[in-house]
Every structure is written in C-alpha cells, then in structure tokens.
A and B are shown apart, each in its own frame.
Chain A
Amino acid sequence: MYFCYAEDSEDVAKAQFQKNSKPLKEKTTKAERRALQEAQRAAKAEGKKAGATSGVSAPTSKPVKQPNQKKDVTLLASSSTAVPEKKGGEKSLEKDRKKETVPHPRMQFDDKSRVEKAKKRSVVQQTEARNRVEIFRHLPQYERANQLSDLESKFFQLDHVHPAVYEVGLRFLAGDIMWSNTRCIAMLQAFKKVIEDYSTPSEKTLSRDLTAKINSSVSFLIECRPLSISMGNAIRFLKALIQKSTLAQTDSEAKASLCSDIDRYINEKIILADKVIIRHAVTKIRDGDVLLTYGSSSLTEAILLHAHELRRQFRVVIVDSRPNLEGQSMLRRLIEKGLSCTYTHINGVSYVMHEVTRVFLGAASVLSNGTIYSAVGTACIAMVAHAYHVPVVVCCESYKFHERVQLDAICSNELGDPDVISKVPGRMNNPLDDWASKENLQLLNLVYDVTPADYVSMIVTEYGMIPPTSVPVIVREYCREHILI
C-alpha cells in the first residue's frame, strides 16, 4: 500500500504516524504523492534529531489489502504487523515510487543496509546465523545460543521496556510459551499492565504517546520472536482502541476502559469463541469415527475431550513430527482422560490414513485466499487425506483471519533454530553434530506451512462452519471494524 494520507496533510509528521492506521486509501496523483513524500522526508530528518526511537515507526502494517496489489513483489519478512524501524518505512517509500503495487512496509532482511540499521537499534543482540539457506534470505535467522542469557543480563538496562513485556519477551525467546492463542493472551496481559502503569507525560497526548510505548514494546517482542498473525491482529485492534479513546475522557478513565476492552477482547474473541467452535465441531463427530489430528492444538484437544464427555465412541490417531514432537504431550493428556489413541510419525500417515474417517486440524491463521497457515507438516497431512478422500476440518477463531494472501510457504515464514534438526533425541554421535563447520551444509527448520484451500473441506469458526472460499467474506464482514461482537 502506498500511502494513507491523513486529511490534514499539512501536519506531515502526524500523517507519518497515522499513515497506516486509516483503513481507506485516498487516491492521489503521482505528482501529489511525490511532493508529499519530499515534504515527509524533510520532516523525518527533523524528527530524527528529536531522537524518539520508536515513536516514529510506522505503527501497523496495512490492515486493508489495496485492490491493485496482487503480487508479493518483494519477498518480505514474517507476519509481523509492526514495523520496528522508521528507516525501513522510509526506504520502502522510495522503492514504492518505482512500483505501482506496494508491498507492506515490513522489514526486508535481504537488504543489508537495513539489517545494519536495525541492528544498531535493536535491544536483543542478534548475530546472524551461519550457513543460511539461500532461498530464505528474506527471513531473519539468528544464532539462538546466546540470545537468552544475553537478554537476561540486560534487565536493568532496558528502561523503556516495561518489566511485564520484558518477561513475556523472555518467555517467548526461551520457548516457554508456544501456541498462538497463549502467546496472544500473554502479550495482551502484558500490555494491560503497561497501560495500567502508564502515566501521560506533560505536553503529550495519551493516544500518541501510549501508541509509541506500545510500539516500542512490540518491537522488543519481535526481536525476541517474530509475531504470529493473531498477535498482529490483536495489536492492530489495541491501537485502534487507543486512537478512539482519546476524546473527552480523563486519563484514568481512558486507561480503565482500555483495560476492560482488552479483557473483553480476550474473552470474546478467544475464550468464548473457542466454546462456540467446540460446540459446532462436536456435531461432526459420530460414533465409530477414527479421527486424525496433527501435532498439538489446544482447540482440537478441547473438541476431542468434549466429544468424549458426551460419550461419543471414537478413537484418535495422533500424528507427530520433528523437531518439536509436540504430539507427545497431547497424547499424554488424551490418554489420561481415557481416549484410545494411536500414535505415529508423519511418514507413516499414508499407512494409517486408510482407516481414518475425519481429520481435525488447528491453524495459526487463515488467509484470505482460503489457505491455512499452520504448523509445518499440516499441508502434508491434508494432502494425504485428500488423496484418500477423507474430509479435513480446520478449527480456527475468527480473530486469526487475515486479509493477506499467500501461495506457498516460502514467501513468508519463520525460521526456527536449525540446531534442533541435527540433534536427534536419544542418540549420541549424531552424524551432523558439526554441521556449522561445513559450508556446503545447511539445516532448515521451518515453523509454518501453507495448506492450499482445495485440501480443506470445512473451516469451523465461531460464526459457523464455512467452506474455505468464504474466508474473505468473514474477513470483510467481521474483522474489518475493530468492534467487539
């Protein structure tokens, strides 16, 4: 998206901040845009001297996909919705001039100059990984070994990061919190604390300063671990709330209402939505079913347990894969509740699929072209199920839906720690122990996968059970306005 101009364009700096928060773009001629751009660049040069590190960063990515932007022209970084630096935004302004279609102003990691600048301002010390896979140059990959201890030692130096946010960031980095729902809830709780402890400094308005503070927290969290799409949506919602809350309220009232709104968001969009989804999905489980599930998804687990409480007779096949082997924890929890389970690894899915009647999958996000963005391996499961004519049901809350479109898993993904691939649990002397020393060898640990829409039979959301082709309708009707339904 090119530029979102505020109405009062003479206040160029303000335009800079609100550039992307307005959902609609106003068509301007090229000459006008160019003129404004020059003015903005001048204003930015002044703003730079003011030294606000985070406040000037373009707040959110485009909430709305522009109608003429069809292709992913530049390969961009992961699904973070907050751009951590204004320099990236500035550079993208220049480049955008040359192209009609405008990419999101997300960080371009294959551009060395930007990476250098990001490093100077980053809090977490990141050393780039060696032996990077060529095709993923556009995604960040850092050495994991030292990050955690490094960050821990910096606790007393980070005064612009709230301790709650710091704690959440640490836990993300350490891998304690992993699933997109829990991450989102943890992040929102941390932001609630930030808001509660916040006091507006003099000569600044609550909305803008608080937004700046939230931005700095978000950039810190991104440095710990790239945001998931659900977290991005939640941040956008929060910022829209902050914008709206400025008028005619004292600060304390505004803060209280913000906190209560966050609570409502968590409650309605996540907890209650889960309950509704479970109720819908359980109707699809019949007696005698053999249900296959992949990895570990809290929603799928809740659905299976609920069906078991309703005394349906079924059994579960849990398919697991490396490197996280998260299916094992789900297996343990299901067995303790008395479900009869079969466990296998992803290579054996062709063997078990001929006796499976339904496949239940969870998702990290659902994109506008109906593709499912989820844990790596989901696409393989859906493909084999499709080949054996087994229906695939995906359960996902609507707050995870996004207007983005994606065709394959390479344009946008997250790269995990490659060392876990070389280490096989329970084996000494792995052949790849010294992989970093061999320059011809790279290890690739993808976190996300893209499942094409034709492999999915049905998506269960709290608004009902929809086919994958109806996803953009849901996005348009229910996700655009940041209102709580």
Chain B
Amino acid sequence: MPDTHALVSDFLNKLKKRKIEGSKAAAKLTAELLRTVISQQRLPNTNQAAALIHAIKAIGEQLTAANPVELAVGNIVRRVLHIIREEDLSLTTASIGGLNLQALSDDEDNVDRDDQPVLSAAAVAAAARSTLRPPALQTLIEDVSHSAAIHHSSSSAGDSEEKTKSTDKNSRSRKLKHNVIETVNELIEDIATCHESIAEQAVEHIHHNEVILTLGSSGTVIEFLCAAKEKKRSFRVFVAEGAPRYQGHTLAKELVARGLQTTVITDSAVFAMISRVNMVIVGAHAVMANGGVIAPVGLNMVALAAQRHAVPFVVLAGIHKLCPLYPHNPEVLLNELKSPSELLDFGEFSDCMDFGTGTGSPLLQVVNPAFDYVPPKLVSLFITDTGGHNPSYMYRLIADYYSANDLVLQQRPTS
C-alpha cells in the first residue's frame, strides 16, 4: 500500500506540473500506475469487483482533478473500470455456466465451463453486450427460474459443493485480479502500438502526387505518412509551423530525414496554400463523444479553411483518446492558457506593464491558449486503430470501451 501511495502522489505531481507531454504518454503511465495499484490491492473475499472499482475510482478522481485537460488520464481510468466490470461479469457467467449443466440461454452457449481458462475480455464483452440487448421474454423467464435454481442448488448443496464453492471463490479472486491485469497489459500494448494499426490504413487514403497539409507535430501523423511512403506513394507535405511551440519544424526535419518532400509554411499562410492541398491530416489531443476534437491550437482555423475549399479534414486518433464525455463550452473549459513568455519577451515589454487603467488592472493582457476545439461538422473522417469512422459514429464506440456507471468518477457521498 505505501508503495502505491508514493507512486500515485508522484504521478499526481507530474500531472499537476504538466510534466507529461502528450496524451499517449499520459495514457501509458496511467495504465501502468493502475496496474500496479490493482496488483497490490488486497481484496476481500466477497464482492471483489466492487472493492476494486471503489479503489480505482478514488485514485481516478484524484488523477483527473490534477489535470482536467488531460482527458486521456480519465479515459484510461474508465477503461480500467470497464475492464474490471467485464472480467467480473465473465467470471460470474463462467462460474454460473460451470455449476449449471444446462445453458441458460442460447446466447451464453459460447461461455466455457469453469475448469477451462476464461475467455478474453472481448468475447466476454460480446456476451455482456448480448445481455444488454432486450432479452426475449422466454429467456427472461428461464433466467429467473434458472438462477433461482442455481441458488437453490448451491445453497442446498452439501459440503462437497461448499468446498468447491469456496475453492471456486478463491480461485475466482485470484482469477479476477489475474484477468484484469492481463487485460490491462493488453491495453498498454494497444496504446503503445496504436500508431502501427493507424499507419496500416495510410495506403488506402494517400495516392500518388497528393499534397498533404498538417500543422504542428504528432507522432501518429509521422508514422502515417511514412507508412504511405514505404508503399512507394510519392506525395508532398506542407507543414505549418504551429506557433508558439513551432513543433512543425521538428516534424519537417523528421519527414525530410525519411525522404519526403516537405515545405514549411507559417500558420498565417494556411489559407493561401490550402487551395492547392488535397487533404489535411492532423493528430488530436482528445476526441469527445459528439465527434468534436480537442486539438492543438490553430487547427480550428485550418478546419474552417479546409471546409471552405472542400478539402477533407482527417483526424488520426488512437482509441485511448476517445473520451466518453460530451463537451460543454470546450474552448474555455477544456483549454489551458500557457505562459505569455512564449509570445512576448518579458524583457522587451516590461515597460508596458507599468501602464494601468484607473482600476489598477493592467493594460496589457496576453492570451496563449494551448488547445482548440474543432466541431464535428468540420471533421471529414476519424482514422483510429479500429478503422475509419464518421464523427457521428464515435459515440457508438464508447459502448465498446466504457461502462455507463463510470462516466462520473466523483464518489457520491453515501447517504
């Protein structure tokens, strides 16, 4: 326990001081942290999943409060909670299936018996989702009777059954943690390799002699473009610098090193050049449930220009960036204002700070937002590790990865 405390507070510190760059890094670190927490969490014998969920929620609340703009942290917390619930569900169904000789319903035929290893979360998710479908009346009635029968049978069982049940429970507890950690490992693996699955789709979208525009820098975009280059497509790239961090320069250097024709332009020249561009490909900081994008600053301008010239605006995002929340006033609430020194040199403008209005407020204010909100109607396509999607479809993907109970991480005070 003390170990995890130290780890958690260390991570919280880093989040508060904004030392973690990028949603991919934040997601990976969060997942690893939660994995450590889970493995060290001591679980009671009964209702383990609830205890685990409670512990993770408590930590998750702290994490999201440390950096509310880094939505990937909250995403991963909710993913882990969802994983716990699903693993629990799969174990429950498996154990029920083991005790009961008959299948409960046609849908649960594919659930294995208890002595066999539990299925992966995906199959369980499919099963769980199947239970989410409105069940047929017959199966409902059968369910009730069968579950009643189970309880009866389990409670009326003799010592042998009790023993098996307790061993079942022990093995179940070990299994829950084990399964959850396995699945979290898969999640970390997915985060690490999201670039590759996205880059595989590059060939479908980039053809010969295309001109592509991008702004700032994104690891996903680099891999995407280079994958198309590997497949011998020749195209050229316009890179807008992305003030005030000028990450476009590093992107351009990287692309040139890999052999792509690159031209660096200033952000102000985007409207001028976009008439000659075939496609705009950018990365995202986060994708909201309505299909809107929280992107590095300047991309709303690019999206508007692309809409004006009917140029497709393609956003590359790993699934870990998909946030189940809907944005409200995102320009202000999901934004961060960075230091003015990136725009104005303090030394040169220190004399301007001396002037003030009568009320004492300074005459000079500097605004340096870090993110932009791109509404879903400006986005043509999302390319994720699961394929290409419309912005209007993104809300459906949430059901795959998140549970409805987890959307609010704050613990309500129990009455």
- Chain A residues with a Cβ under 8 A of chain B: 133, 135, 320-323, 328, 331-332, 335-336, 338-352, 354, 376-377, 379-380, 383-384, 387, 408-410, 413, 421-422, 424-427, 430-432, 435, 438, 440-446, 449-450
Contacts and interface: CB of A to CB of B under 8 A. Distances in A.
B249 interface: yes
B304 A387 contact: yes
Contacts of B331: 350-351, 354
B352 A351 contact: no
Nearest to A445: B266
Contact of B243 (A322, A426, A432, A443): A322
Contacts of A335: 352, 355, 363-364
B368 A426 contact: no
Nearest to B373: A350
Contact of B305 (A349, A380, A421): A380
A444 B301 contact: no
Nearest to B355: A335
Given A410-B275, A421-B264, A384 B249 contact: no
B262 A341 contact: no
Contact of B365 (A341, A376, A387, A438): A341
Contact of A340 (B264, B298, B363): B363
B252 A338 contact: no
A442 B263 CA distance: 5
Interface residues of B, number: 54
B88 interface: no
Nearest to A294: B268
A332 B349 contact: yes
Interface string B363-376: 11111110011000
Contact of A350 (B242, B246, B300, B363): B300
Contact of B264 (A338, A346, A413, A444): A444
Interface stretch (B66-74, B170-178, B220-228, B253-261): B253-261
Nearest to A408: B275
A339 B362 CA distance: 10
A444 B352 contact: no
A339 B363 contact: yes
A338 B100 CA distance: 83
Contacts of B250: 431
Contacts of B244: 345, 347
A430 to B, nearest CB: 6
B265 A431 contact: no
B192 to A, nearest CB: 26
The 4 closest A-B pairs by CB, nearest first: A377-B268, A347-B298, A409-B272, A379-B271
Contacts of B267: 321-322, 345-347, 377, 380
9 contacts: A133-B263, A328-B348, A347-B244, A351-B372, A383-B301, A409-B273, A421-B265, A426-B345, A440-B256
Contacts of A342: 364-367
A341 B268 contact: no
A346 B298 CA distance: 8
Nearest to B369: A351
B396 interface: no
B262 A408 contact: no
B269 A449 contact: yes
A424 B272 contact: no
A133 to B, nearest CB: 6
